[in-house]
């Protein structure tokens, strides 16, 4: 799936920043689907993924194709769209 993620800040941010700012993504997935993912597992995957969000940028990202924990979690939870202090995200396409 392709997502548009916008960094609303004037600072370079990472996927780790995104996850730390939005811990409810994991909690909501676990509650809704009965999974047992932890915030720490997602952070460990983010360290490997190393996605960057440039300051004041809106860019396309693909999640859901590699079968990692980030892919599994973001596939379900980011497609609903959302906003936090530093980010706005929404689904671009199911490609």
CB 53, CB 87: distance < 8 Å: yes
Task: Please tell me the distance from the alpha carbon of residue 63 to that of residue 76, in angstroms, as a whole number.
Answer: 10
Number of folded domains in the chain?
1
Q: Which residues contact 28 (CB under 8 A, 6 or more apart)?
A: 77
Domain that holds residue 49: 2-93
pLDDT for position 62? 84
pLDDT for position 74? 86
According to DSSP, residue 4 is labeled E
Question: For each of the chain's 95 residues, which pLDDT tens digit applies?
Answer: 889 999 999 999 999 999 999 999 999 999 999 999 999 999 998 888 778 999 999 998 888 777 788 888 888 888 889 999 999 999 888 76
């Amino acid at each position: 799936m392709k997502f548009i993620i916008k960094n609303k800040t004037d600072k370079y941010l990472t996927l780790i920043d995104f996850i730390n700012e939005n811990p409810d993504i994991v909690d909501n997935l676990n509650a809704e689907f009965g999974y047992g993912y932890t915030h720490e597992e997602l952070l460990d995957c983010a360290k490997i993924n190393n996605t960057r969000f440039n300051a004041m940028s809106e860019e396309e990202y693909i999640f859901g194709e590699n079968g990692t924990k980030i892919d599994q979690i973001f596939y379900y939870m980011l497609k609903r769209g959302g906003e936090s202090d530093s980010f706005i995200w929404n689904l671009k396409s199911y490609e």
